[in-house]
Structure 1
Amino acid sequence: MMACNDQDARLVTLLRVGRLYAPEPREEVDMLIADGRIAALGRDLAVPEGWPVRLVEARDLTAVPAFIDQHVHVTGGGGEGGCVTRCPEITAAEIAAMGIGTVVGVLGTDSISRSPADLLAKVRGLRAEGIAAYMYTGAYRVPPPTLTGDVQRDLAWIPEVIGLGELAISDHRSSQPRQDEIERLVSEVRAGAMLAGKRGICHFHVGDGDRGLEPLRRLLSETEIPADQVIPTHVNRHRELLDEAADYARTFGASIDLTAFEDPGEEGLSAFDAVAVLLERGVPRERITISSDCNGSLPEFDAQGGYVGMRVARNTTLIADWQRLVREEILPLEHALDLIAGNVARVLGLQAHKGRLAVGFDADVTLLDSELQPRRTFVAGRCVYSEG
Structure 2
Amino acid sequence: MSPEEVSKPGLMMLLRVGAIYSPERLEQTDILMAGGKITALGSDLDLPKGWPIEVVEARHLIAVPAFIDQHVHVTGGGGEGGCGTRCPEITARDIAAMGIGTVVGVLGTDSISRSPADLLAKVRGLGAEGISAFMYTGAYRVPPPTLTGDIQRDLAWIPEVIGLGEIAISDHRSSQPRQDEIERIVSDTRVGAMLAGKRGICHFHIGDGKRGLEPLRRLLSETEIPADQVIPTHVNRHPALLEEAADYALAFNASVDVTAFEDAGDGLSAFDAVSRLLKLGVPPERITMSSDCNGSLPEFDANGTYLGMKVARNTTLIADWQRLVRESVLPLEAALGLISTNVARVLGLHATKGRIAIGFDADVTLLDSELQPQQTFVAGKCVYDVSNTE
Aligned-partner SS, 1:317:
helix
Preserved CA contact (<8 Å) 1:170 1:210: yes
Please tell me whether residue 207 in structure 1 is matched to residue 207 in structure 2.
yes
- Inter-partner Cα distance in structure 1 for 2:220 and 2:298: 31
Answer yes or no: is the 8 Å Cα contact 1:136–1:165 preserved in 2.
yes
Q: Which residue of 1 aligns with 2:276?
A: 277
TM-score (norm 1): 0.97
> Could you tell me how far 1:9 is from its partner in structure 2?
6.7
Partner residue, 2:3: none
- 1:58-97 → structure 2 map (5 Å cutoff): 58-97=58-97
Q: Distance in 2 between matches of 1:9 and 1:296?
A: 40
Distance 1:9 1:254, change over 3 A: farther
| CA separation of 1:312 and 1:327: change in aligned 2, threshold 3 A | same
| Alignment gaps of 5+ in structure 2 | 1-7
1:227 aligns with 2:227: yes
TM-score with structure 2 setting the length? 0.97
Question: What percentage of residue pairs aligned between the two structures are identical?
Answer: 80
Equivalent residue letter for 2:35: D
On the 8 A contact 2:9/2:52 being kept in 1, the answer is no
Q: How does 1:1-388 map to 2 (within 5 A)?
A: 10-265=10-265, 267-388=266-387
**Would you say the 8 A contact 1:60–1:369 is kept in 2?**
yes
In 2: Cα distance, 1:118 partner to 1:192 partner: 22
Structure 2 residue matching 1:32: 3-state secondary structure = strand
C-alpha separation in 2, matches of 1:17 and 1:62: 6
> Structure 2: how far apart are the matches of 1:367 and 1:9?
23
Q: Is the contact between residue 199 and residue 229 of structure 2 (CA under 8 Å) also seen in structure 1?
A: yes
Query: SS at 2:217's partner residue?
Result: helix
Q: Report the Cα offset of residue 81 of structure 1.
A: 0.1
SS in 2 for 1:120: helix
CA contact (8 A) 1:9 1:382 kept: no
Say if 1:289 and 1:343, in contact at 8 Å, map to a contact too: yes
Q: Given residue 109 of structure 1, which amino acid in structure 2 is its aligned partner?
A: T
Deviations 1:351-382 (A, max 9, x none): 00000000000000000000000000000001
Letter in 2 for 1:235: V
Name the aligned partner's letter for residue 113 of structure 2: S
Q: Distance in 1 between matches of 2:317 and 2:209?
A: 25
Q: What amino acid sits opposite 2:133 in the alignment?
A: A
How far did 1:50 drift? 1.1
Where 1:282 maps in the other structure, the secondary structure is coil
Deviations 1:108-157 (A, max 9, x none): 00000000000000000000000000000000001100000000000000
Name the amino acid aligned to 2:368: D
Q: CA deviation at 1:47?
A: 1.6
Distance 1:12 1:368 in 2: 21
Question: Partner of 1:289: helix, strand, or coil?
Answer: strand
Deviation at 1:46, TM superposition (A): 1.9
- Secondary structure of the structure 2 residue equivalent to 1:335: helix
Helix, strand or coil at the partner of 2:366: strand
